[in-house]
Amino acid sequence: MQQSRRVLVTWEGGLDQKETVSAFYRAFHESKFLFPPKSGVRQHVDEIRERAAYITNFSEILRIARDGNEGSAASLKKLDHVNWILGATDVLEKRMVRI
């Protein structure tokens, strides 16, 4: 999880970062089969995936936001997603251990 956190916080779109994201997507799809719905793991991983997508696509989002003078709001939203993910990974690890 530490590697995934670092990849998102310092996202530049490098090859090593893209490989880490690919590994996350594999884990995301596998979680459907590994954890029962009541565990909440799949739902939690899905929210991480959605928030991570905002971060990994941020340069395009920021370009569009700047066209509409909303760059500051987009940057704050990215920061919110990063902070949420940093806390969410600890919650996810605890849910996975309980299974």
Taking the chain (99 residues) in runs of 10, the rounded mean pLDDT of each run is 64 82 86 89 89 82 73 83 84 77
What pLDDT score does 99 carry?
A: 58
What pLDDT score does 6 carry?
A: 66
What pLDDT score does 68 carry?
A: 67
Burial 56-66 (b: 16+ CB within 10 A, else e): bebeebeeebe
Q: How far is CA 67 from CA 1, 32, 74, in A?
A: 35, 39, 12
Domain, as residue range, for 10: 2-98
What pLDDT score does 3 carry?
A: 61
Domain count, the chain: 1
What pLDDT score does 9 carry?
A: 67
Q: How far is CA 60 from CA 14, 39, 42, 71, 72, in A?
A: 16, 35, 28, 11, 14
